[in-house]
Amino acid sequence: NAGVMQNPRHLVRRRGQEARLRCSPMKGHSHVYWYRQLPEEGLKFMVYLQKENIIDESGMPKERFSAEFPKEGPSILRIQQVVRGDSAAYFCASSPGQRNEKLFFGSGTQLSVL
């Protein structure tokens, strides 16, 4: 049973470009969470999704950021018109959705904006 898979591991974008980060949850997991770790800061919650639904996006910036988790395929975190301040490690976690189950994290995508 493969763990949470994130790709790419490293992504370099120039200011103004779009960044697409992918997350495939563990098999049998239908709940996905995205977190961001800015340099010298702790991990911050961004968004919580279930299949085809955004449950909580209270941690996501209102502009330029969007997330989806379609019925088929991975969850996608999309950042439009990236700026240098978007440079961070983006982590995805998944769970089967039962209370008091551990979250399983992927290895993250390191986004660097030039």
Other Cβ atoms closer than 10 A to 46: 21
Binding mask 83-102 for other proteins (x = CB under 8 A): --------x-x-x---xx-x
Other Cβ atoms closer than 10 A to 7: 15
Q: Which of 15, 27, 44, 51 forms a contact with other proteins (CB under 8 A)?
A: 44
Tell me the closest approach of the beta carbon of residue 79 to other proteins, in angstroms: 20
> Which residue ranges make up the site for other proteins (CB under 8 A)?
4, 6, 31, 33, 35, 41-45, 48, 56, 59, 91, 93, 95, 99-100, 102-108, 110
